[in-house]
Amino acid sequence: MKRPLVFPKTAIDDPELQQLIEFYNETLGFCPNSIKTMHIRPRIAMAFIEMNKAVMENYGRVTSSLKRFIGYISSHSAGCNYCQAHTIRAAERYGAAQEQLDHIWEYRTHASFNEAERAALDFSLASSQVPNQVNDEVADNLRKRWDEGEIVEILGVVALFGYLNRWNDSMGTPIEDGAKESGDQLLKSQNWTAGKHSY
């Protein structure tokens, strides 16, 4: 794309947008341009933030870092380079082990991942594909290792990033410097680039 479909909002005198910027400064170190674009229609941005908070809330075993890895696997499957960089950055910021960051695509065999994490990531990959690839084997494996509430959390993350992947790839959301740095640093083994998100 030669330019984003719609440019992110830049009005710094908007108190509601400033509040969102402050929230994301704590979680990512910057406010995503996707939020600034959604805020052109403020109710969309606010509804998304509430959904994001509900989905990413930590109830226990589905840790904050695992949720970001689920988002990463889902975004990689969907081909959204913007969200891949954001999720790998967030995984690092939320305490993911360096070994897991370095070997995310070896999760099925690498010793730093346990069987429950493998089941969650297999499900994330299968449920993010079009057409959907969740079958009895994937579902049974997930049920063996996670309870119903945890499964709802896991699928909540996949669904949240399904929305974000569509939003950002269709919008051509410009990638922020911090996200690009994380993509370049943490995803170099995957030949990650900012792609259409760099102008």
Is residue 193 in some structural domain? yes
User: How many other C-beta atoms are found inside a 10 Å radius of the C-beta of residue 8?
Assistant: 19
Q: Which CATH number characterizes residue 135's domain?
A: 1.20.1290.10
pLDDT in tens, the chain (199 residues): 999 999 998 866 788 778 777 888 878 889 999 999 999 999 999 999 999 999 999 988 999 999 999 999 999 999 999 999 999 999 999 999 999 999 999 999 999 999 999 999 999 999 999 999 999 999 999 999 999 999 999 999 999 999 999 999 999 999 999 999 999 999 988 899 999 999 9
User: Contact, 45 vs 74, CB < 8 A?
Assistant: no
Is residue 53 in some structural domain? no
- What pLDDT score was predicted for residue 45? 92
CA distance 39 to 70: 26
Containing domain of residue 147, as a range? 58-197
User: Contact, 50 vs 134, CB < 8 A?
Assistant: no
Is residue 104 in some structural domain? yes
Is 0.85 topped by the overall pTM? yes
Is residue 11 in some structural domain? no
Is residue 158 in some structural domain? yes
Domain count, the chain: 1
- What pLDDT score was predicted for residue 12? 67
CA distance 131 to 64: 28
Structure tokens at 38: 């959604």
Nearest-5° angle of CA 64, CA 69, CA 74? 125
Is residue 44 in some structural domain? no
CB within 8 Å of 18: residues ≥ 6 apart: 12
**Angle of helix 148-171 versus helix 81-93 axis, rounded to 10:** 130
